[in-house]
Amino acid sequence: MEWYLKVVRDNYANFTGRARRQEYWMFVLFNFIFIIAVAMISGFLSSFLEAPIFMGLYIIYILGVIIPSLAVAVRRLHDTGKSGWYYLVSLIPFIGGIWLLILLATEGDVGPNAYGPDPKKPNTEEINEIGRKEIE
């Protein structure tokens, strides 16, 4: 749940930097659970109260998470060293979705890359600098 809140609250429209696999896939998992829950609740309320206005809950939720979903996917691609534009690979029929899934499941680059520092490891350059200062 922390990962979902981190994406939605802290990085709502942040398309820069890198996202770990755990951050991306935990967001996808909780987002899927919430979509199912909102769809069931709005469907139940719509049929029980015979008012289709409750289907708007589902649409509002979907519209509310489009931006963070794209942002975390772009940051995930950045972690693998790819541009966020690789997300458009999914538009290629048949193979595009599979290729994107493989890119999103691939382990990120070790160490810093063009998109930022490694989110898995602390800043080792800073630790090395501390060691050098003590030696001198």
CA dist., res. 96 & res. 88, Å (int): 8
Report the range of poorest mean pLDDT among 12-16, 27-31, 118-122, 129-133.
129-133
Burial track 43-53 (b if 16+ CB lie within 10 A, e otherwise): eebbeeeeeee
Look at residue 32 in the predicted model and tell me its pLDDT. Answer: 95
Domain count within the chain: 1
Look at residue 41 in the predicted model and tell me its pLDDT. Answer: 85
Residue with tokens 């802290």: 10
Task: Find the domain containing 86 and state its range.
Answer: 2-135
Mean pLDDT calculated for residue range 16-23: 90
| Residue 84: closest CA among 66, 104, 102, 55 | 104
Which residues, other chains included, contact 4 with Cβ-Cβ below 8 Å and sequence gap of 6+? 26, 27, 30, 31
Mean pLDDT calculated for residue range 98-118: 90
Q: What is the pLDDT of residues 63-102, one digit of tens each?
A: 999 999 999 999 999 999 999 999 999 999 989 999 999 9
Look at residue 92 in the predicted model and tell me its pLDDT. Answer: 93
Other C-beta atoms lying within 10 Å of the C-beta of residue 86: 17
